[in-house]
Amino acid sequence: MEELLQPRHPLDKHHQAQLQALQQLPESQRAEMARLFRLGNATYRYQQLADGEVTEADYQHWLEGLPERFRQAMERDGFESAKRSLALRRHALERRDVGYAAFMQAILSPEDWAFEQQQRAAAGL
């Protein structure tokens, strides 16, 4: 099962839970679920790069690009609340030239990266 989870989740308790979930699935469903776990694990690792790195300047820059109503809601909630937002964390990383696409392509297998690209295209992203 270990070979199905590369990249693995960086937190061992979650990695073990993923292994257990895969073991409980019928063989015919394991590959698809393992792929979803791998994509989630890679995304989690990307988001970890922003831990402690989101600044007030990132927040202000991010607010400038938001649609008016969403910006107002984020301003009302304030920086402390918003700095846990995945969207703000990604914005901060990309401002530092740590792009999501480049990170994901580097960490995923070519097959998983192609799948990710297909899913994003199908969703219009």
Domain boundaries along the sequence of the chain:
8-123
Start-to-end CA distance of the chain, whole Å, equals 32
> pLDDT for 88-97, tens place per residue?
999 999 998 8
Classify the phi-psi angles of 97: left when phi > 0, otherwise alpha if psi is within -120 to 50, otherwise beta. Answer: left
> pLDDT for 51-76, tens place per residue?
778 999 999 999 999 999 999 999 99
Looking at the chain, the whole-number percentage of residues with pLDDT higher than 90 is 78
